[in-house]
Structures are given as structure tokens and as C-alpha cells.
Amino acid sequence: MKKTLMGNHAVAVGAKLAKVDVVAAYPITPQTQSVELIAEMQAKGEFKGRYIKVESEHSAMAALIGAAIAGARTFTSTSSQGLAYMHEMLHWAAGSRLPIVMADVNRGLGAPWILWSDQSDTLSQRDTGWMQWYCADNQEVLDSILLAYRVSEQLCIPCMIILDGFTLSHTYEPVDIPAQEKVDEFLPPYKPMAAIDIDKPATVGSLPSSKDYFRIKRRQAIDMDKIEGVFDRSVEEFASIFGRRYGLTEGYRCSDAETIMVMAGAVATTAKEAVDQLRQEGKKAGLLYLRSFRPFPTKQLKGYAKPGVRFAVLDRSYSQGHHGIIFEEMKSALYTCNPRPGIYGFVAGLGGGDITVELLKEMWAEADAGKPGADETVWLEEAR
């Protein structure tokens, strides 16, 4: 059934359909309506899980860690400063191998104080051991939550579903809401790898030897490497039930493209329009949409790096002292390509700056002409 949903409500409906056992959350703009709707659905009896009101995001994640260790399917959502405050607990969740799923509504980080979207908050959590999937529309937000539980619970790796603040969170568009029976068919109840049991007392995460710690981290790494296979198999099942298919990356008009724009998030749908317009002008433009940032889909990206192809990478974050984060990750992933492709870095839309079709076409043209230096970041600003 198609309904007009804002991204925040797609988040809440996704969590309800996934039959989450425990939600613990703290409200923050622009995430607020996602947890408000879950609370409302719980009050009406439509959502059967527990809703724990907490005093901070740090506590929200701590509560979910406890619930997940006890074998519950868990969910939260946050944004920006809230995610930053959760940082310590993010490592704790991933290291404890708890398949917690969280939505993060992208918003810039202070200072100065900012409410609008960019990817600084999530990309700052790159090394916490969480999967990071970026969404391009509200359908993808809902679907990704279901897919996330399917993948996370098979590998015991937590997953962050990321949607742009306001651009998706507050924007209404048609979303196909799947029937509960179909979701149940796709998503079996959670069976934890190791749940604590009141009759057999044990602790999780207590001090190991350095040797054990080292091996636990190695196991975490090797399981992270298995995501691609598990993701692909899960997507096949998803597609057979719901008729929609997702990849860790998605190429648009890339087969004969000479210069390919690379980006994550909702700006990708605007970029499709930019690619179509460039194509109409006879230019060989393509779009590579990075759905998964962690794991970084190096193998798939290499498939696009045919000889002579150039990449124009759009970052909505900046690592001070280096460059845009996705730009650097792309360079790292494609370093072993022979010949090595031209990769150009652009930063735009920090703190919610508008990214228009015109801006994207200009970015494409600069990269296509090979204008920026290899170690240069080009800062683009919407002129209007």
C-alpha cells in the first residue's frame, strides 16, 4: 500500500514492521518525529515492543546493549550531537557483536550550531565497527531497516541506516508500505549468537587477555568481510518478496560514461537528473551511488574504474587537515587500479547548503575537463 510518508515516519514504520522488541531513544532535531511516531504507535498498541525513555543518547545505546545481550531485537534513532555523544557506546555495541539497528538523520556538527544536513556526524563514526548504509529516498529508508536486521543478525554486526536531515527526514513522498505477513516471511525472529541467561550467570565484554582481544578483533574483521555475500543473498530474498532490489553500490548510466559522479545520500536522486541533462547535451556522464560506506565496496568500485574513466567525488563532510572523507576513501580503494583513474574531490552542501542540478553539472564539467589538481579539494557553493 502506497502512502505519503516523511523520512522520519518511514523510519518508525520500518521499526514497527521489523517487530523490534526494545526501543530506547532521546529526541533531537531533525530526528524527533521518528521516535515520536514509535511512541505513538506503542500507545495505540500497534507497536508491541518496549519503549525506554532515557536521559541521553549515550544511555539510549547503553540500554540497547543491555537489551540486545539479553536477546532482544533493538532499535534507536539519533542525529548529529546525539550520535557524537553515543560514540563510546557505538564501539561497545560493535565489539560485543550486537546486531543493533539505528537510524541516523544526518545533520552537521557544531560549532557553530547547525540544524541542517551534512554527513559529518556519521562519517565521524567511520571506525566504530558499524555498517553504514546511506539512503537516497524514503522507500529506501524503510526497506533498509528491514534489510539491516536481516544482514546484521546473520553476522552480529550493528548497522546504521542514514538519511539526510530535512531533505529526507521531513520531505514527503510516496512510499510502498509492505504487509506485515510479507515482512515476517523475510525477517524471522532474532536468534542471538549468545544471549545471557538468568539461570546461567555470565558477563559479556569483561577484561580478556591481549591475545584474546587481538583475536576477537580479527574475527570481527573477517565477519565484516562476509557482509557482501550475506547482503547479496538477503537482497535476492528481499527482491523475491517485495520486488525491489538494492546493491552496496548502484551505477546509473555508467556503462559508457567517461566521467562518473560519486556520492552518498539523497543528493543522488538529484544527480540522476543532472546525468540525464548532461547526456542530452551529448556528454558521457554517469553516477555512482555509494549506498554502503561501511563496508566500503572496493570490489564493486573497481568495476567502474575502466581505463580512462574519471571520478568526480562529492563530499558533504571534510576531514580537517586532509580532504573530503569519501574522496580519500575512493583514492585508497582505487590505488591498485592499473591505469589509476583520475579522482577529483569536491565539497558542497555543508550545514545544509542546497545542492542543485546546476551545481552538480558544474562539478561534473570540472572533473571531465581534469581541472582540479590531484590533491586539491574544490569547494562549491550554490550561488542563489
Partner 1 sequence: MPRLEGDPNQFEAIKLSTRSMSEVHTGNWRSLKPAIDHSKCTNCMICWKYCPEACVQIATGSPVIDMNYCKGCGICAFECPTKCISMNADAGL
Partner 2 sequence: MRMETKMLDIRFHGRGGQGTVLAAKMLSDAILRGGKGECMAIPEFGVERRGAPVRAYARISSTKVRVRSKIYDPDIVVLLDPALATSENITEGLKPTGTLLINTDHKREELAKRWPGVRILCIPARAIALAHGLGPAASPVVNTAILGAMCAAFELASLQDVTGAVRDSVPWQVEENIAAAVDAYEMMRKEMGHAKT
Which residues bind to partner 2, rule: CB under 8 A?
2-4, 6, 30, 115-116, 166-167, 170-174, 266-267, 269-270, 272-273, 354-357, 382, 384
Residue of the chain from 68, 146, 312, 359 that contacts partner 1 (CB under 8 A): 359
Q: Which one of partner 1, partner 2, none is in contact with 270 (Cβ closer than 5 to 8 A by kind)?
A: partner 2
Residue of the chain from 198, 207, 222, 383 that contacts partner 1 (CB under 8 A): 383
Report, in Å, the least distance between residue 47 CB and partner 2.
Answer: 19
The helix (H) or strand (E) run that includes residue 359 is helix 357-368
Report, in Å, the least distance between residue 359 CB and partner 2.
Answer: 8
Report, in Å, the least distance between residue 36 CB and partner 2.
Answer: 13
Report, in Å, the least distance between residue 120 CB and partner 1.
Answer: 18
Q: Which one of partner 2, partner 1, none is in contact with 380 (Cβ closer than 5 to 8 A by kind)?
A: partner 1
Q: Binding of partner 1 at residue 320 (CB under 8 A)?
A: no
Q: How many CA atoms lie within 13 A of 35 on its CB side?
A: 27
The grid coordinates of residue 244 equal 525491489
The interface mask with partner 1, positions 63-102, x = CB under 8 A, is: ----------------------------------------
Q: Which one of partner 1, partner 2, none is in contact with 273 (Cβ closer than 5 to 8 A by kind)?
A: partner 2
Distance CA(120)–CA(101), nearest Å, equals 20
The interface mask with partner 1, positions 192-211, x = CB under 8 A, is: --------------------
Peptide bond preceding 372 in cis form (omega within 30 of 0) = no
Distance CA(352)–CA(59), nearest Å, equals 28
Distance CA(255)–CA(273), nearest Å, equals 17
Distance CA(367)–CA(260), nearest Å, equals 9
Closer Cβ to partner 2, 227 or 271, answer by number: 271
Nearest partner of 119 among 311, 276, 313, judged by Cα? 313
Residue of the chain from 5, 278, 348, 367 that contacts partner 1 (CB under 8 A): 348
Burial 139-174 (b: 16+ CB within 10 A, else e): bbbbbbbbbbbbbbbbbbbbbbbbbbbbbbbbbeee
Long-range contacts at 358-361 (CB < 8 A, ≥ 24 apart): 360/261, 360/267, 360/270, 360/271, 360/274, 360/314, 361/274, 361/277, 361/278
Contacting partner 1 within 98-117 (CB under 8 A): 112
Stretch in the footprint of partner 1 (CB under 8 A) among 4-12, 39-47, 125-133, 372-380: 372-380
Residues paired with residue 102 on neighbouring β-strands, in sequence order: 76, 160
Stretch in the footprint of partner 1 (CB under 8 A) among 27-35, 58-66, 303-311, 375-383: 375-383
What Å distances lie between residue 160 and 78, 102, 188, 214, 241, CA to CA? Answer: 10, 5, 20, 25, 23
Do the beta carbons of residue 26 and residue 54 sit within 8 Å? Answer: yes
Stretch in the footprint of partner 1 (CB under 8 A) among 83-91, 100-108, 195-203, 359-367: 359-367
Stretch in the footprint of partner 1 (CB under 8 A) among 46-54, 82-90, 334-342, 354-362: 354-362
Report, in Å, the least distance between residue 138 CB and partner 2.
Answer: 10
What Å distances lie between residue 67 and 77, 79, 181, 265, CA to CA? Answer: 16, 21, 25, 30
Residue type, 45: G
Q: Which one of partner 1, partner 2, none is in contact with 378 (Cβ closer than 5 to 8 A by kind)?
A: partner 1
Distance CA(358)–CA(214), nearest Å, equals 49
Residues making contact with partner 1 (CB under 8 A): 112, 348, 358-359, 362-363, 378-383
